[in-house]
Amino acid sequence: MIEEFYDLSRPLLDADAKAMELCKERFAELEEIKEYNQLKMLRAFTDNYVGGNHLVGTTGYGMDDPGREKLAEVFAQVTGSEAALFRSSFMSGTHTLTVALFGVLRPGDRMVAVTGRPYDTLQGVIGIDGTHYGSLMDFGVRYDEVELLSDGTPDLAGIAEKCRGAKMCYIQRSRGYAARPALSLDQIEAISKAAKAVQPDIIVMVDNCYGEFVQKKEPTQCGADLMAGSLIKNPGGGIAPTGGYIAGRADLVELCAHRLTAPGVGGEIGCTLDTLRDLYLGLYYAPGVVCEALKTSVYASALFEVLGYTATPKYTEDRNDIITSVETGSPEGMEALCGGVQQGSPVDSFAAPIPSDMPGYEDPVIMAAGAFTMGSSIELSADGPVRAPYTVYMQGGINFNAARAGVLLGADRMMKLK
């Protein structure tokens, strides 16, 4: 059908047909996860008596904002957490993770990143990039790191060694811009057990960006005490205009609330303006939207494998985030793939992505994003820092039929480079 709308070569159309055939079984599994998570979501809404009054926001201090409080309760239930903050006043994933880290860590505490070097923007937050803008290290928080093993799995022995005496065990679930697999929930549970065996009061915190609703459980149901993520990724369902969440143990979430607003004030304030309806709707849609993104991700892996490129994870592998990376082999390859994805986007389809410097990132970054929400990466997006082996990270796709077209347009441009 796509040939009625886009002029694609016969070999590419054949590869597309083959990829779709390869994906059939995986798609059925993804549909099953979606159904489970959607029903879990419906029950979280109805069990908490979400009403029409909750969809209307407040201004000013936002004291006693019933919609804000209710939404956090719904999110806590759906993720099996004791408590949550789920708000538009978080500015990004990085900001949300920053609030969580500064919320619970104190001078003299030691945090151990147990999945290797954290995501680019977190390096400035911690201070490991040598900057001093009030990083955790500037405030006397000590930092330690445990590399993943060469096969990409957690080094449980190393983790046990370094977590003794530490305050926080920090896990990044998704791969981010790294050539490593995303962590499974079983692996998160194993890390938590290893850390708590040597330090029972250690706080296990998970950067859950891109991981929400990908499986039937969340990290807080698998040994994590605290987790955080962005609402312009999975849990915003492509509808939340901005925001983030922190969820987990009630005492820790409370500390984070005092860091988000002001010490002593806590979560009682924070007006919601006109954001509540979008946040509720986006969260409600999230299981379905994440399924579309996962289908796009699995399909892209299959298509690029058929075309002879290295794509990870493989289409046959279980997903723990919504990212598929493709090694394009050259800066031109990155521009071709990103350009095609941009062309297949509903907004700004006519733009041409080119690499440029981004705050918080070391190398120039190229980004294809034709999204309804600026910078949204639950919508189809393709990006990466321009460095060898010129890997493009693709994520999102709020609608598989359209995202498949975007992936094909990218592949078409790459084939023309050869």
Q: Which residues contact ligand PLP by CB under 6 A?
A: 92-94, 119, 121, 172, 174, 176, 207, 209-210, 230
**What is each CA distance from 381 to 325, 338, 398, 410, in whole angstroms?**
12, 8, 10, 11
Nearer to ligand PLP, 174 or 312 (CB): 174
Nearer to ligand PLP, 67 or 236 (CB): 236
Closest approach, Cβ 74 to ligand PLP, in A, equals 22
Nearer to ligand PLP, 71 or 122 (CB): 122
Nearer to ligand PLP, 236 or 333 (CB): 236
Q: Are 395 and 374 in contact (CB under 8 A)?
A: no
Q: At what angle do helices 250-260 and 93-104 cross, to 10 degrees?
A: 110
Task: List beta partners, residue 205.
Answer: 170, 226
Nearer to ligand PLP, 95 or 167 (CB): 95
- Rounded Cα distance between 344 and 6, Å, is 10
**What are the backbone dihedrals phi and psi of residue 311, each rounded to the nearest 5 degrees, phi first?**
-120, 135
Nearer to ligand PLP, 256 or 409 (CB): 256
**What is each CA distance from 391 to 36, 89, 328, 329, 368, in whole angstroms?**
33, 33, 6, 7, 13
Nearer to ligand PLP, 124 or 288 (CB): 124
Nearer to ligand PLP, 203 or 306 (CB): 203
Closest approach, Cβ 413 to ligand PLP, in A, equals 25
Nearer to ligand PLP, 49 or 133 (CB): 133
Closest approach, Cβ 7 to ligand PLP, in A, equals 34
Closest approach, Cβ 91 to ligand PLP, in A, equals 8
Closest approach, Cβ 305 to ligand PLP, in A, equals 23
Nearer to ligand PLP, 269 or 380 (CB): 380
Closest approach, Cβ 92 to ligand PLP, in A, equals 4
Closest approach, Cβ 412 to ligand PLP, in A, equals 27
Q: Are 262 and 104 in contact (CB under 8 A)?
A: no
Nearer to ligand PLP, 108 or 134 (CB): 134
Closest approach, Cβ 121 to ligand PLP, in A, equals 5
Closest approach, Cβ 183 to ligand PLP, in A, equals 11
Closest approach, Cβ 174 to ligand PLP, in A, equals 4
Closest approach, Cβ 375 to ligand PLP, in A, equals 7
Looking at beta carbons, which residue is closest to ligand PLP?
93
